[in-house]
Amino acid sequence: MRMSVKFISKKVKGVLYAVLVGLLFTFGFVGSKEAFADSELNRPEYHITPQAEWMNDVQRPLYINGQHHLYYLYNDDFSWGGNGTEWAHAVSTDLVHWERKPVAIEKYKTPYGDPWTGSTVIDENNTAGFGNNAVIALVTMPFEGQSTHLWYSTDGGNSFKHYNIVQHNPTGSADFRDPKIIWHEPTKKWVMLLAERDKVGIYTSSNLKDWEYASSFVRQDIGIVECPDLFQLNVDDNSDTKKWVLMVGGNGFNYGVTTGSSYFVGDFDGREFHAETPVKWLERGADSYTGVTWDAPYTNGNYRYFISWMNNWNYARKLPWDTFNGNTSIVREMRLKTTTEGLKLVQKPVWNLLDSFPTILDIKEEDIYTGQENIFKDFHGLSYSIEAQIDVGDLTEGKFGFSVRDGDGQHADLTYDKSINEFVFNRENSRIKIDVEEFKRPQRVIVKPKDGKIKLDILVDRGAVEVFINDGEYVLSNLVLNDLSSDGLRLWADGHVHLEYLKLRTSNKFTIL
């Protein structure tokens, strides 16, 4: 995909933001868009955001010498449909705290335009000729419609130089983009995946420069495919059983979901991918797109890390931010598990994120009844997490739910209806309502209790809410744009539920990037 803040000193940044926020408070709304009067104060605390203006697609991170290197598309000019994107760069040792680095690939430094989405690999054995452990990026650029270009780095992925076009666009198609590269050990070949409208093109190479077409994986039920990914995982953390997963961004209209990451579990022989499952969707939330995965030496094939752009092209241009627009999801651990629905990718927050939050409420063995006083009545916060296990055995046909970012008539609601085993996430009472069906429509997912219990991890961070149900078998990621006064939290029940445990943690008030 295409379309992401010039680096200014923290002191200057603070002065500019203070002036801007003051003006916004004074005049309420700015320009032709309905803008948050306090948009900068609504910046998420523990999600990655651009320092200013626009961001979108995350590029697959790399693990180099103990650091995770993350890149994302970024546009400091913030002009819709113009002025290009470049590759912003950040590093982290713990996947929680990120340090901003200078832009890694600048725009308009070649005759071919600006860099769009691509992927990076470490060329350990110098197959491309730029040196052992050179970092190679294959990147879409708007030349010949869309073509694939090789950029290389000899300083550990901090800066890149343009080499050449390595995959021309044979038809001039407007959909020939988002290269993803992997190394296939059995065939000793590099493999590249390209998003080609309704199919994923698969190519092979021995040197990352000369590519041979191998096959295509065609789907006509998920719209225009984007940002493919291909990886192998152990099933149930068992190294004796491995499966390949092909993941692509797509449109879930035919399956009752909006745009997001779809995936197929199957087999890959180095040239062709054979799906063994029907299409599955990584989550049911509206705001998780162009997801990417990566590993590290210590993951041992049991899990991969996952991060995505937390937005939706159906309404991204309509969001009311003025000082910045866009954020990522949190980093998640992704595993391939056997479930009652077959093999499934499950996701959980990276473990050290929640451990970095201080616990302010720790409840064990407490009952919640209809009409009971809200146990969170004294809590006020904008960025926090909830970890809970709830026994719904006595709920019969009743409901229970959490209302987050609650106050002044604004709130977002996560409700479980025991009569139909359905969770619903509804943001119709949020401050900002975008008049687009994909934004207005509640997200629904059928969840059957396990031994009569539901496990929840709910992460709330100012403009972002991520919900993980039953150890991440089901995920809902959504933007929630409320006033700062909407800082309450409610738990309610229509009937009786039993809290086996509940932990409420607040963030450490660190702003990432």
* Active-site residue set: 57
**What's the N-to-C CA distance of the chain in angstroms?**
23
> At 12, phi and psi to the nearest 5?
-65, -45
88: helix, coil or strand?
strand
Q: Pick from 205, 213, 324, 314: which is nearest to 272 by CA?
A: 213
Q: How far is CA 493 from CA 196, 365, 392, 399, 475, in A?
A: 48, 16, 10, 6, 22
> At 196, phi and psi to the nearest 5?
-125, 70
Q: Are strands 324-325 and 53-64 parallel, antiparallel or unpaired?
A: parallel
| C-alpha span between 324 and 266 (Å, rounded) | 40
Tokens 């900002």 — which residue? Answer: 432
What angle is formed at CA 290 by the lines to CA 267 and CA 146, rounded to 5 degrees?
A: 90
| C-alpha span between 156 and 148 (Å, rounded) | 22
Q: Pick from 51, 57, 54, 58: which is nearest to 8 by CA?
A: 51
User: What Rg do the C-alpha atoms of the chain give, in angstroms?
Assistant: 23
CA 469, 471, 474, 477 torsion-angle sign: positive
Largest interatomic CA distance in the chain: 70
The partner residues of 216 in beta bridges, in order of sequence, read: 201
